[in-house]
Structure 1
Amino acid sequence: MTKLIGYARVSTRQQSTDRQQADLLAAGVRRDDLYVDHGVSGARASRPKFDEALAALMEGDTLVITTLDRLGRSTQNMLAFADELRSRGAGLRVLNLGGGDVDTATPMGSMLFTIMAALAQMEHEIKRERVTDSINKRREAGKALGGRPRRLTDSQIRSAVSLVKGGEPAAQVARDFGMSRATFYRRSRALADQQGVV
């Protein structure tokens, strides 16, 4: 008897798979045949529940996913995966691909899958380009790039330097101020360079 094997994935633990699971169950996947990865990136080759879903696939079965990006990032990898399923006699069904569901077991479905996989990779690369471009523009404009804010003021660093000059161990002073020794040395050097003397 052929089965539908469902797979859902989210990249972070804070995200929910509820919507994906509801769509997969509505498409006919039994709860026992539903595999879910939480906090696993699509760029990773090995995904524990995905590997289990593939192991459960028998000839004639169909792997069902909600969207193409649940499979991965690269067109080449997605197409190789679809070919692997075909060679095993299993199908792939994508529920929300181009406004409807696509089954790679059909010639039209296979063609649509190829086109959409290429578009998904292109979209991912365009997003990456935009982020890189934005970072470069902020850097050129001298704007902050985010990251952790400085917790200690220059005045606090001066106090720490005074303690060390007074004979306190640098490691202990740094610990007392809630920073690493390396951070203490780096910040005190920067302050000295900035002011000429500490």
Structure 2
Amino acid sequence: MSKLIGYARVSTRQQSTDRQRADLLAAGVRRDDLYVDQGVSGARASRPQFDRALDALLEGDTLVITTLDRLGRSTQNMLFFADELRSRGAGLRVLNLGGGDVDTATPMGSMLFTIMAALAQMEHEIKRERVTDSIIKRREAGKDLGGRPRRVTDSQIRSAVRLVKGGEPAAQVARDLGMSRATFYRRSRALAD
């Protein structure tokens, strides 16, 4: 008897798979047949739950995903995956394609899968270009990019020590440097040695 095997993935631990899970369950995937990778990039060749989902696929079964980009980032990876499905006699259902089955065993299904994989890769590359462009524009405008705090130089620590010796509260000086008071004291001691 054939069954539906569901797969969901998010790239970071902060993202939620709730929406994907709900869509997969609504499509008829049983909870026992649902595999979820949390905080795993689609660019990685090995994804633990994805590998388990593939192991669970038998001839006649169908892998169900919400969007094509859950499979991978490049057309080449997706085509390799399509060949693997074909060799197992398994199908693929992508819910964002109107819920229709994409049968990679047929010429039409194989062509549709190839086109959709290429479009997914193009979409990923366009997003990457937009992010890079946004970072360049923010940098040029002198705006904060977030990320790691800037490194505090030894010269800044020495100046801060002079402020503390002049009566400024150490907690305020450390806060102005963007560090904890304990870090400020540790760095001050290291310079004094």
TM-score, normalised on structure 1? 0.73
> How far is the alpha carbon of 1:67 from its aligned partner?
0.6
- Is 2:10–2:16's contact at 8 Å kept on the other side of the alignment? yes
Q: CA deviation at 1:34?
A: 0.8
CA contact (8 A) 1:94 1:103 kept: no
Q: C-alpha deviations, 1:119-161, integer Å up to 9, x for none?
A: 1101111111122223233434444433345597999634446
Q: For residue 6 of structure 1, report the CA deviation from its aligned partner.
A: 0.7
Matched residue count: 193
RMSD after superposition: 5.7
Change (3 A) 1:161 1:127: same
What is the Cα deviation at residue 110 of structure 1? 2.2
Whether the aligned pair in 2 keeps the contact of 1:58 and 1:90 (CA below 8 Å) is yes
Determine if contact 2:6/2:24 at 8 Å carries over to the other structure: yes
Mapping for residues 66-145 of structure 1, pairs under 5 Å: 66-97=66-97, 100-145=100-145
1:97-128 CA-to-partner distances (Å, cap 9, x unmatched) read: 26755343443332221111101101111111
Q: 1:45 to 1:21 in 2, by over 3 A?
A: same
Identity of aligned residues (%): 93
Partner of 2:56: 56
C-alpha displacement at 1:57, in angstroms?
1.0
Give the alignment's TM-score, normalised by structure 2.
0.74
User: For residues 149-180 of structure 1, what are the alpha-carbon distances to aligned partners after superposition, in whole Å with 9 as ceiling and x for unaligned?
Assistant: 55979996344465999999999999998869
Deviates more, 1:24-33 or 1:144-153: 144-153
Distance 1:178 1:23, change over 3 A: closer
Change (3 A) 1:84 1:130: same
Q: Distance in 2 between matches of 1:138 and 1:111?
A: 41
* Structure 1 stretches lacking a partner, 5+ long: 194-198
Cα distance in 1 between the residues matched to 2:78 and 2:154: 52
2:29 aligned counterpart, secondary structure? coil
Could you tell me whether the CA contact under 8 Å between 1:93 and 1:104 is conserved in 2? no
**1:28-65 Cα shifts (integer Å, max 9, x gaps):** 21111111111111111111111100111112211111
Structure 2 unaligned runs (5+)? none
- CA 122–176 in structure 1, closer or farther in 2 if over 3 Å, else same: closer
Moved more, 14-23 or 97-106: 97-106
Distance 1:71 1:142 in 2: 38
Q: 1:183 to 1:73 in 2, by over 3 A?
A: farther
SS in 2 for 1:36: strand
